[in-house]
Chain A
Amino acid sequence: MDSKISDKLKILADAAKYDVSCSSSGGKRKNDNKGLGNAEGMGICHSYTEDGRCVSLLKILLTNFCIFDCAYCVTRKSNDVQRAAFTVQEVVDLTINFYRRNYIEGLFLSSGIFKNADYTMERLVRVAKKLRQEHKFNGYIHLKTIPGASDELIKEAGLYADRLSVNIELPSEKSLQSLAPEKNYGEILVPMGSIKDQLVQAKEESKLFKSTPKFAPAGQSTQLIVGATAESDQQILQLSDQLYKGYSLKRVYYSGYVPISTDSRLSIITEPPIIRENRIYQADWLMRFYGFDVKEIVDEQHPNLDLDIDPKLSWALRNRHAFPVEINTADYEMILRVPGIGVKSAKKIVSARRFAPLQFDHLRQMGVVLKRAKYFITCQTRSLQRQDFDSEQLRRKILFGDGSVRSALLTQQLDLFRQVG
């Protein structure tokens, strides 16, 4: 049986890996039944893949048999791959045993559509239920909802899962029609909307009754594939913005399309657009934590993010009139907009300047990247920059340094989750 399990794990982990979400944060489930596990607060990355992504959850498909034929997906019906299916018990055993050894924070279970949507969804729910009820498991559970599954099943899933997700995958209706003909936007957005309503309702009720069962306490998320179809960054980010605002999504994940499929319906690329994906994450970060509106990041004139520089610097170069910012008096919000100053340094600045007027040396010690920031700030009206540069000159100076001629693209860090500096 051992080699059988290991063969299944090979196939079903491999098939699940293109879903980039592996977050286990935002949970509120405490271990108050002397059971196993705890999913409070921030999730932990227990390892990192060789491509530098966090490994936090056991992320697998229940099965990679699928009746659908979505062009971008390895699991699509017409693709010639080995198929496998776990039993409910096998998934439960793997999760518990990995968790007990501190390999993982919990389970992220998704699936190809086997027979029909409800049949598949019902099994996903069974895994979660078994973990919670028979094993008193309080670790993190993220369930993917199967497109077309009934409302009741999704509701039940929310009782056991910390997070639910409905993947949109393709950033426009048009692309969806051509690449995933069996799906449609309505079918995706309906469950998303009903999860949102459940979340709101559970929150309301828990104000009234202490014992209201929790519903997906870590909220819902989705994933968009970048680069498989022709959408601009503006289209993608506007969609995310709507999802954050309209559906209260906790996270939108972006997955640079890995050309795994030779399906003729797809745009032809040879490498995953990793830098573009990274820029989109940075832009997403700006919208969620830096108080930027999507319109400030991309617009009709600039529908795509600059690949050479991060979107915050890009905004600063387009809005020179907002600078220089005086570190000793400017609002926190404005300090946060200075290239080279992140959330942490901005907080330190605001705290420290209550004690003494800040000098450039203080900033350096606090971790401000002066190489960047110096063009945009003054300290007690002093500037490190004697000359005035126009935006184009600045861009070049920041990219290539004052003398060097390295290609910026080659030296870019490809850290997906690096904060925007």
Chain B
Amino acid sequence: MYFYTYDGSFEGLLTVVFEAYERKAWPTAIEQEHLAQPSMFGENIRVVTDEQKASRVWQGLQRKLSAAALESLYYTYLWEQAGFERLIFDYARLVFDSAESVEGNYTAPFILQVQQIYKQVHREKHRMEAFVRFQKTADGLFYASVSPDFNVLPLIVRHFEKRYADQRWAIYDTIRRYGVYYDLKKTDFVQLENPGLTPKQQGVLKASEYDENETKYQLLWQVYFDNVNIPERKNPKLHLRHIPKRYWKYLSEKQPRLH
């Protein structure tokens, strides 16, 4: 029995794959260091992330997988739900051990599952792209905070860079407590540790920090939303399926009416 631990990074996880092959010691479990309980039985293997080993594994996968399949493996990492390490490991192992391409073999349960995870994460990514609402601050920054089900921030950067090339913007993930910030030239990952604040207050703007016209446009958007509705066609079930309640917190049109 081999219990692997790693630092939680994607490169770290790929290094685990490398080490497992090197030792021919197939993992009983793969866990992040800070979460793992050392086991009394079997061997504990603490893997140190190694860029070179990781990239050799990745290149190996690249040789045998399409870009779409590689992407779904990365998405599985960002999915972050229990067991994702195992899935990625099993997938990689099947790829390395098969002479032929395994892609599209939906009769293998974890290949179908990775594909379904891809869909879930993709949907969340898409929802963030749709439901993020920027608020303009007094110094001209367009700011939004989000709390996505999966770690999709790295996935939405490209979309917003392309769209908002001429304005400074930032999106902050209040659950994972990091953000992305675009300064008109490039986008960086940022931490927002405001020492005076509790974790809950990090990344929340005060009313006084907004641009003077911010409320006006939120109000106009509410007015618009109320007037495009056709009451004769009301269909709450369908409405909820498209915007589940947990996304309402982002949407100014779903907040009490401003005056």
Render A263-281 as a binary contact track against B, CB cut-off 8 A, 1 for contact: 0000000011010000000
C-alpha spacing A31/B216, complex, angstroms:
28
* Contact partner, B136, options A9, A37, A101, Cβ 8 Å: A101
User: Whose C-beta in chain B lies nearest to the C-beta of A13?
Assistant: B227
Render B222-259 as a binary contact track against A, CB cut-off 8 A, 1 for contact: 01110111111111111101110000000101000000
A409 in contact (CB, < 8 A): no
Chain A residues with Cβ below 8 Å from B234 are 50-51
Is the pair A44, B126 in contact by a Cβ cutoff of 8 Å? yes
C-alpha spacing A358/B165, complex, angstroms:
48
C-alpha spacing A34/B236, complex, angstroms:
40
B90 in contact (CB, < 8 A): no
CB B91 to nearest CB in A, in angstroms, measures 15
CB A118 to nearest CB in B, in angstroms, measures 29
| Interface residue range, chain A | 35 or more
Render B204-219 as a binary contact track against A, CB cut-off 8 A, 1 for contact: 0000000001001101
Is the pair B238, A46 in contact by a Cβ cutoff of 8 Å? no
* Contact partner, A5, options B112, B220, B232, B233, Cβ 8 Å: B220
A319 in contact (CB, < 8 A): no
Stretch at the interface among A166-174, A180-188, A348-356: A348-356
Chain B residues with Cβ below 8 Å from A49 are 225, 228-230, 239
Is the pair A46, B131 in contact by a Cβ cutoff of 8 Å? yes
Chain A residues with Cβ below 8 Å from B104 are 348, 351-352, 354-355
B74 in contact (CB, < 8 A): no
A401 in contact (CB, < 8 A): no
Is the pair A6, B220 in contact by a Cβ cutoff of 8 Å? yes
B132 in contact (CB, < 8 A): yes
A35 in contact (CB, < 8 A): yes
Is the pair B235, A52 in contact by a Cβ cutoff of 8 Å? yes
* Contact partner, A31, options B162, B229, B237, Cβ 8 Å: B162
B167 in contact (CB, < 8 A): yes
Is the pair A102, B228 in contact by a Cβ cutoff of 8 Å? no
C-alpha spacing A14/B228, complex, angstroms:
6
Chain B residues with Cβ below 8 Å from A356 are 105, 107
C-alpha spacing A399/B220, complex, angstroms:
45
Is the pair A136, B225 in contact by a Cβ cutoff of 8 Å? no
Is the pair A31, B163 in contact by a Cβ cutoff of 8 Å? yes
User: Whose C-beta in chain B lies nearest to the C-beta of A56?
Assistant: B130
Is the pair B126, A366 in contact by a Cβ cutoff of 8 Å? no
User: Whose C-beta in chain A lies nearest to the C-beta of B238?
Assistant: A52
* Contact partner, B239, options A16, A48, A272, A358, Cβ 8 Å: A48
C-alpha spacing A51/B226, complex, angstroms:
11
CB B255 to nearest CB in A, in angstroms, measures 12
* Contact partner, B164, options A36, A52, A355, Cβ 8 Å: A36
Kindly name the residue among B108, B136, B144, B220 whose own CB sees the greatest number of chain A CB atoms within 10 A. Answer: B220
Render A1-26 as a binary contact track against B, CB cut-off 8 A, 1 for contact: 01001100110011011100000000
Within 8 A of B (CB), among A267-310: 271-272, 274
C-alpha spacing A136/B165, complex, angstroms:
11
Is the pair A352, B106 in contact by a Cβ cutoff of 8 Å? yes
Render B138-180 as a binary contact track against A, CB cut-off 8 A, 1 for contact: 0000101000000000000000001111110000000000000
CB A325 to nearest CB in B, in angstroms, measures 19
C-alpha spacing A59/B104, complex, angstroms:
41
Chain B residues with Cβ below 8 Å from A101 are 133-136, 142, 217, 221
CB A73 to nearest CB in B, in angstroms, measures 15
Chain B residues with Cβ below 8 Å from A47 are 131, 225, 243, 251, 253
Kindly name the residue among B107, B135, B237 whose own CB sees the greatest number of chain A CB atoms within 10 A. Answer: B107
CB A380 to nearest CB in B, in angstroms, measures 13
User: Whose C-beta in chain B lies nearest to the C-beta of A18?
Assistant: B230
Chain B residues with Cβ below 8 Å from A256 are 233
Within 8 A of B (CB), among A29-64: 30-31, 34-38, 40, 44-55, 58-59
C-alpha spacing A97/B110, complex, angstroms:
45
Is the pair B223, A10 in contact by a Cβ cutoff of 8 Å? yes
Chain A residues with Cβ below 8 Å from B164 are 36-37, 100
Is the pair A98, B217 in contact by a Cβ cutoff of 8 Å? yes
CB B259 to nearest CB in A, in angstroms, measures 10
CB A110 to nearest CB in B, in angstroms, measures 13
Chain B residues with Cβ below 8 Å from A34 are 165-166
- What 9 pairs across the A-B complex have the smallest Cβ distances? A52-B238, A51-B233, A351-B104, A13-B227, A352-B106, A48-B242, A355-B105, A14-B227, A52-B235
List 22 A-B residue pairs with CB atoms under 8 Å apart, sorted by A's residue number.
Answer: A9-B223, A13-B224, A17-B229, A37-B164, A44-B126, A47-B131, A47-B243, A47-B253, A49-B230, A49-B239, A50-B231, A53-B230, A94-B220, A98-B221, A100-B136, A102-B132, A258-B232, A259-B232, A272-B230, A351-B106, A352-B107, A362-B106
- A residues at B contact (CB < 8 Å): 2, 5-6, 9-10, 13-14, 16-18, 30-31, 34-38, 40, 44-55, 58-59, 94, 97-98, 100-103, 136, 256, 258-259, 271-272, 274, 348, 351-352, 354-356, 358, 362, 365-366, 413-415
- Inter-chain pairs besides A38-B163, A51-B239, A256-B233, 5 sampled, C-beta below 8 Å: A14-B227, A44-B129, A59-B228, A98-B221, A102-B132
